[in-house]
Amino acid sequence: MNHRMADQDAIYQRCFHPTGAFVEFGKEEIEQSIAARFEKIARLYPDRTAVKMGQQRLTYDELNRAANRLARAILALRGEGNEPVVLLFEPGIRPIVAILGLLKAGKIYVPLDPSFPRDRIRTILEDCDSKLFVTDRRGSTFLNQRGESGVEALDIEAIDSAIPDGDLRLPLPPDLRASIMYTSGSTGRPKGVVQNHLGILHRAMVYTNMLHVCASDRLTLLHSCSFGSSIHHLFSSLLNGAALFPFEARVDGGISLARWLKQEEMTIYHSVPSLFRQCMEAVTGHETFSALRAISLTGASISAQDVALYQKHFPESCVLVHLMGATEAGWIRRYFIDHAGSVEHGNGTVPVGFPIEDKAVLLLNDEGVETEQGEAGEIAIRSRYLAVGYWNRPDLTREKFVAPPDAADEQIYLTGDMGRLSVDGCLSHLGRKDFLVKVRGFRVEMGEIESAISALAQVKEAVVVAADDGNEEKRLLAYVVPERDAQVSSTSLRRLLKDELPDYMIPQTFVTLAALPLTANGKIDRRSLPDPGTLRPQLDTPYEAPKTAVEESLARIWGDVLDLCAVGIRDNFFELGGSSLSAARIIAKVNETFGIELSLRNFMDVPHIAGMAGIVILLRGSKDSAGIEFPDRAVDEEIGEL
């Protein structure tokens, strides 16, 4: 074993819960249905907390019984059969009950988030051809408001409590289809990745054994169940007797996340790197996270700065794990870091690391032949435990899933990611082969965004690119050619796209051009697209300069964070290209500058400088100013006069 592999193994061997008895997730346990494994766990740990959010809590016995009642209600409506059923819930406990209920009934769960645009929801409904929604009162209201028709809705809150709640024990084989996760598609339409019970159980096994998840652990769930990575959080906890804690990070953000992690004594944290950084923006350095034993980051590259944040704010008993995976393949590589670790690669990013059980990595050239040692190539995954394919897309399935000639029970999945293997077998991720990128941990196809923009009546053509924002994140830039005599602005384009795309797919910056630059052969010359610079975007809101010292101070902070030379006091934060991460950075700087505790909710209520200035004055006026000096004396005097 080489030196780096030995270090990895040593960290792995320390990654145990200090009081819990870890039970290995055996290979024989994946040759069954998810329902059978969960019911076994519910019998072992009936009184343990299964899921908790805020003041709501279900034990394993309560969760199992609720899922059994729902399964019987679904079977009464639809009968037996492995058909897709759509779930529509806000993040919380109910979607978890619904997922288990559908799996127990032998159905395929298709999770959707109400925040998705109407057209995206309708496209997915048409594609999966579901005849049933499972939702709650809030989701039912949402469906009525949007005028969805032709699909029956089952309100989980209205299920008769007299329905029997014992286990159904249906004969569900491990190769039965279990879920369809819709991801961004290069043709402008989302594509549905189909998973079976065997594949999901294998993913739970890998994550369980990698982090030694046990019944004493408490795991985070920081995003909607409609994203592929939720599979690992859900089933690595609920199939081991651990507790799962949903937290609506998109509402509460990093400001509250650090406090919540400590309050709930979380032991395993999992998120995209951008949310981790946002959380760290709110950490003062005085917090203690003594219960937290593992931080796993996935969905995008992590840097030396991320490692430094982990080493600064978390105890030596906590390890950092960088994971690479895909909705189609599960986890494929992992890299452990402890307080003695450092980033060894010249580009300052952490490698995605070493092999994961049953997932062989191949690097292929453009001809589909394995590359020589040290050469870059497309990352391909060979395994028995891959996704089944794409729902209703046999063409795309054949393109991305290739059967090797020497193994009837394995497939090779072509990821579209580029990588390079070092001499010791460590894999480094080199970016996307095509124009698919990760934004805030979500996979985004440029083609889908370009199609949505180009479909607008005011737009003749558009191209979208991803650029580094200077904080280890990607930001989307849209270059738009308007139709003749059409008036477009960042405000109007953003407003129109809200009905077409999720917020993470809406570009932060829009640049209007008379024509797109072309190469000699008539293709778009992306390299010649102009730099958007630091000029204020073209907004519907007229520019209004700061009038007071507080507004001037805030305008400087906003300009520094958003890299703009001018910000009007009525300019909307999001129309300026702001994101959740830049919001956290602004809040942190404002709080440091003014000695206050401005929250993310305060910011979201009035996302412009004029509103923020009023909140700053109110918060600052309620504090004892003794011993606190402002960097700008005029600001101090202005507040003192109120």
Cα–Cα distance, 511 to 491 (Å, whole number):
12
Fold of 549-640: 1.10.1200
Confidence of residue 145 (pLDDT cuts 50, 70, 90): low
pLDDT of residue 179: 98
SS3 130: coil
pLDDT digits 0-9 by tens, 374-432: 898 999 999 999 999 999 999 999 999 999 988 778 999 999 988 999 999 999 988 77
Domain boundaries, the chain: 436-528, 549-640
96 with 146: CB under 8 angstroms? Answer: no
Mean of the per-residue pLDDT values for the chain?
Answer: 87
Mean pLDDT of 315-335: 95
pLDDT digits 0-9 by tens, 46-96: 999 999 999 999 999 999 999 999 999 999 999 999 999 999 998 899 999
CB-based burial label for 639 (10 Å; 0-12, 13-18, 19+): buried
Mean pLDDT of 526-537: 82
pLDDT of residue 75: 97
480 with 450: CB under 8 angstroms? Answer: no
Cα–Cα distance, 514 to 622 (Å, whole number):
52
Mean pLDDT of 526-538: 82
Confidence of residue 185 (pLDDT cuts 50, 70, 90): low
- Which of the residue ranges 195-204, 209-218, 581-590 would you say has the lowest mean pLDDT? 581-590
User: N- to C-terminal Cα distance for the chain?
Assistant: 69
Amino acid at 440: R
Amino acid at 406: D
Cα–Cα distance, 276 to 314 (Å, whole number):
12
Residue 165 pLDDT greater than 90, yes or no: yes
Distances (CA, A) of 323 to 91, 135, 242, 302: 24, 32, 21, 10
Residue 642 pLDDT greater than 80, yes or no: no
Residue 492 pLDDT greater than 80, yes or no: yes
> Any idea what DSSP says for residue 302?
-
Mean pLDDT of 281-301: 86
pLDDT of residue 106: 98
pLDDT digits 0-9 by tens, 359-381: 999 999 988 899 998 898 999 99
Cα–Cα distance, 483 to 411 (Å, whole number):
46
Cα–Cα distance, 33 to 210 (Å, whole number):
22
pLDDT of residue 146: 60
pTM above 0.85, yes or no: no
> Any idea what DSSP says for residue 428?
E
- H or E stretch at 363: strand 360-364
218 with 245: CB under 8 angstroms? Answer: yes
pLDDT of residue 202: 97
Cα–Cα distance, 312 to 108 (Å, whole number):
43
Percentage above 70 pLDDT, the chain: 91
156 with 134: CB under 8 angstroms? Answer: yes
Mean pLDDT of 223-235: 88
pLDDT of residue 292: 96
Residue 334 pLDDT greater than 80, yes or no: yes
Confidence of residue 627 (pLDDT cuts 50, 70, 90): very low
Cα–Cα distance, 521 to 157 (Å, whole number):
59
Between 300 and 542, name the one with better pLDDT. Answer: 542
Which pair of structure tokens corresponds to residue 38? 């969960």
pLDDT of residue 147: 60
Mean pLDDT of 583-594: 90
DSSP-based helix, strand, coil % in the chain, nearest 5: 35, 25, 40
Cα–Cα distance, 103 to 337 (Å, whole number):
36
Mean pLDDT of 261-266: 94
Residue 445 pLDDT greater than 80, yes or no: no
pLDDT of residue 400: 96
Which contacts (CB < 8 Å, 24+ apart) does range 357-363 have? Answer: 357/205, 357/206, 357/209, 358/202, 358/206, 358/383, 358/384, 358/385, 359/329, 359/330, 359/331, 359/332, 359/333, 359/383, 359/385, 361/332, 361/333, 361/419, 361/421, 361/427, 362/412, 363/419, 363/420, 363/421
Is the domain spanning 436-528 CATH 3.30.300.30? The answer is yes
Contacts of 68 (CB under 8 A, 6+ apart): 101, 104, 164, 165, 166, 167, 168
